[in-house]
Chains A and B, each alone.
Chain A
């Protein structure tokens, strides 16, 4: 990828204080992660600690007739065995709906559900003891799709629902349903010259983060508990844990431990409650570490989806109406399904202006693995379908697919189907133009320039199949495809979304230094550099310490929804500004007589360890102003409020901000073997303001690659009886470097005036358009319809 990345020069210019915003400061954990020296949560250690182990259900749906732990308890080295009956307080948890038991009670609802936990002095002892727990199951018929979930004889998976979605769903196996209606679809259909209607399907993708679920729970002398944990949101873990442990929230203290990655998979709790319960039961520190196999059962996945889309357009390509139905498989427990439904519905039309819509999105309860948050969050599934529709429509109309998109592209001021106006830049047409204008990668890059072997020499690494040596060019056809997407940033639908930051400024070692303390989970998104950059810019100091993230400071909200730079970055900025005000006040009090600028009413700034005027004249040294004073502020930052979508019409100011990315994919397909080499995935994205340009490009390339994975290989396969078939990296494949193409990135910076520094959340949008762009390119190469991702060799060779 080197050399292919383009960052506009405007965002690499330095600020007056080195290492401030706009600079590509390096991650402190980057080298450690690459060299294998980074301490993950699985590396935690405590004297005298025990190891926890989880017994999981082999069935997707079964009644638990009995559980006998006596043999397990007799195993030497075992300290505790717990089942549902041993839970001390609240028994359920959940992000929005508390429908998931900490340990299954009398029924298991998915393959891999936790039934019992064991603590022992050695992990192997714990595993062996868990294997001795005798559970008598009586299998029940599994609910595995919409038909079996809502049909006449469907078993109700959560009887007696009393959550706030229960009253408005047509069947108790529907978690949430969100319609959006606007305009007059019937009338528009009459006027349409061309109609395209197709069914699409998206498979179940896994987040496949580094560093499987792990943590260490340490009982404290005050009767509380300290949990060291890799998570995405410390406070929401705490708020779910405290009732389960029967402790007040302030006795449950969480500290972020080394996180490899998250992508949504750490939003729900995994081993948090289990480790704490065992620690409290034994009075000893308890560590739990999942291996990769268990990890596949230990977290939620991306919702698989079935989508039906219909678009009508005029002969000249103007979209008249769109109808869609999006059915998301939420699996056994709600997790964040309701919010995913809201996103899928409200973003289902894509970044296009369509005046007449009839939209329905819903999530099901089934006995499949629970699904919840994953990068793109409901917008990914919709984007695959609406972008496929755009290509089909362009084909029907005989139009260029990019031109059709540009013709219907939204821009600032456009109304979404929810009635919400897009009130910041929406350069949809422009990013499409930019990816299309990028130079095309050279043809047949597998041909070696070395002619000494009669021109037959090939570099198989550049061909479909790679090192597997399946083609030397035979059957290989190039294809090009485009896609664009829209993603919301931040928590939507009226959620009180806020972040907290504590910033301290003081003199240490003869230098003014800052400390930034937040509860933000660093999961790879780059907040760890961005917070320091903001502090340097706002406070004009170079020495900034990032305090470890814990619950000793207010909530930072979740590291998800592309929100952390906006939200906790915004909180750091706000607290820094308050600190600066106090520092300047201090200066006015102490040094008013030393320099006229103190009382002149003009702007005073902190730069390079000095107080300076707007024109750059030094007024005082920061160390002198501060003296022995420690200036500290802890403030909350909120984005502008949103509102819930109307339950019948879907109307409402539901989202905070929108983020747009476009891709051009160039692929080479071995059309005989059905193997794909993605040659290049060019991306253009508006980021408002790139606080750390290197990090920004990294996010875009990472999201792009994750989208590529969904396009051609990543899927958790689940049997009709709900059994997971490929819970390992042997058979759940993610892209290797030989599958990852060159990813040239064109970053636009069109400020959103509502956001700190004008920035726009970056992390998710590139995951949306990457998938449909790759599939469009494969369609272009093969002429096949390809209505399902991931595309498998069978789909390309008619051998399913």
Chain B
């Protein structure tokens, strides 16, 4: 196995162009496990740890530019106001040691249906900036996941950064695992309010071959909130609406039975998480007087 250690982003792109099967590695929290378990024997590993810009982030007017290698710990500590959904998801990733090394770029590269960052990226609104020696492009995160552990990257492309919309309203993330920490998602759910556009986005992880947006549920809820004038009034969401939203989220799943959980449980749990997280974000929205100016995490604390 060859271990490529480019000193710069340009060198990394050149190396990836020369060795399209090279596997990029940053924190190594996924790649090294696969290698250690002998599930994967790449010809080359492409070590991105010397490329400092991948560890940097920048908070802009509308978006956060998140370097691909920024570890979850940094996101949790520094970006919970701008990216509350992603910060909550970051809390659920592995152990503190894993959170110190693992990054959103790695999660996207692996493109596991169970990746914890995917649902909050889908609900916040994000683009993946991919680059190769041929040039750079931005892939909407909705188009990024193409199958189980497959993504839209060309073989010579690397993820440079992720452009994530700053939260304009409350966001939530919730995931079910069969233990209270350090667990892979049986299924995950994220919801984000976008008060300025009067829309709600909802996304599901680990309940279909790829993470996905529950668009039928989103459309229903957006319409229901609009009809009842709830964005303006800040009134409570009727139970029937919350229930219908949850049912539509549940129905949008296409899960499998596997060692971590049954398909029936996944469908059921997504519905429960949808109903609960909706109530948390809506309570957050109402508690800010309906103007959505303050980014509340819906009341949870994850120290």
Contacts and interface: CB of A to CB of B under 8 A. Distances in A.
Given A677-B180, A799-B265, A470 B301 contact: no
Interface string A706-746: 00000011000100000001101011010111110000000
A469 B176 contact: no
Contact of B36 (A291, A454, A471, A733): A291
B37 A794 contact: no
Given A467-B91, A469-B88, A672-B272, A738 B300 contact: no
Contacts of A73: none
A350 B259 CA distance: 33
Given A467-B302, A673-B269, A800-B262, A739 B179 contact: yes
Contacts of A35: none
Contacts of B269: 673, 793, 797
A517 B295 CA distance: 66
A459 interface: yes
Residue with the highest number of chain A CB atoms closer than 10 Å, among B88, B174, B265: B265
A111 interface: no
A422 B241 CA distance: 64
Interface in A440-469: 448, 453-454, 456-461, 464-469
A712 B183 CA distance: 14
Interface in B254-269: 259-262, 264-265, 267-269
Contact of B179 (A461, A713, A728): A713
B212 interface: no
Given A456-B299, A469-B174, A794 B261 contact: yes
Nearest to A727: B37
Contact of A458 (B174, B267, B283, B301): B301
B272 A738 contact: no
Nearest to A730: B184
A188 B160 CA distance: 77
A731 B181 contact: no
A738 B302 contact: no
A467 B180 contact: yes
Interface string B226-264: 000000000000000000000000000000000111101
A176 B275 CA distance: 53
A434 interface: no
B132 interface: no
Given A293-B37, A460-B301, A794-B261, A470 B287 contact: no
B2 interface: no
Q: Per DSSP, are chain A's interface residues mostly helix, strand or loop, or mixed? A: loop
B1 to A, nearest CB: 9
A240 B283 CA distance: 67
Contacts of A731: 184, 259-260
A737 B269 CA distance: 24
Interface in B84-109: 88, 91-92, 95
Contacts of B38: 127
Contacts of A739: 179-181
B21 interface: no
B301 A735 contact: no
Contacts of B8: none
Residue with the highest number of chain A CB atoms closer than 10 Å, among B175, B180, B182, B287: B180
Contacts of A712: 178
A472 interface: yes
Interface size class of B (residues with CB under 8 A): 35 or more
B180 A736 contact: yes
A674 interface: yes
B287 A454 contact: yes
Interface residues of A, number: 48
Interface in A775-800: 792-794, 797, 799-800
Interface string A668-691: 000011110100000000000000
Contact of B173 (A469, A735, A793): A469
Interface string B163-193: 0000000001111111111111010000000
A793 B265 contact: yes
Given A458-B301, A469-B88, A469-B173, A725 B259 contact: yes
Given A454-B287, A794-B264, A472 B300 contact: yes
B83 to A, nearest CB: 15
A222 interface: no
A469 B302 contact: yes
Contacts of B92: 467-469
A474 interface: yes
Contacts of A453: 299
Interface string A339-357: 0000000000000000000
Contacts of B186: 793
Contacts of B287: 454
Nearest to A734: B179
Interface string B264-303: 1101110011001000100100010000000000011111
A468 B37 contact: no
Contacts of A736: 95, 179-182
A492 B272 CA distance: 51
Contacts of B302: 460-461, 467, 469
B181 A673 contact: no
Residue with the highest number of chain B CB atoms closer than 10 Å, among A293, A677, A733: A733
Contact of A467 (B181, B184, B262, B280): B181
19 contacts: A127-B38, A457-B299, A458-B300, A461-B180, A466-B180, A468-B92, A468-B175, A468-B180, A469-B88, A469-B172, A470-B174, A470-B176, A470-B273, A675-B180, A725-B259, A726-B259, A793-B261, A794-B261, A794-B262
Given A470-B272, A799-B265, 9 more contacts: A291-B37, A456-B299, A457-B301, A461-B180, A467-B180, A468-B92, A673-B176, A739-B179, A800-B264
In the A-B complex, the 6 residue pairs with the smallest Cβ-Cβ separation, listed nearest first, are A466-B180, A799-B265, A799-B264, A456-B299, A738-B181, A738-B180
Interface of A: 127, 291, 293, 448, 453-454, 456-461, 464-472, 474-475, 672-675, 677, 712-713, 717, 725-726, 728, 730-731, 733, 735-739, 792-794, 797, 799-800
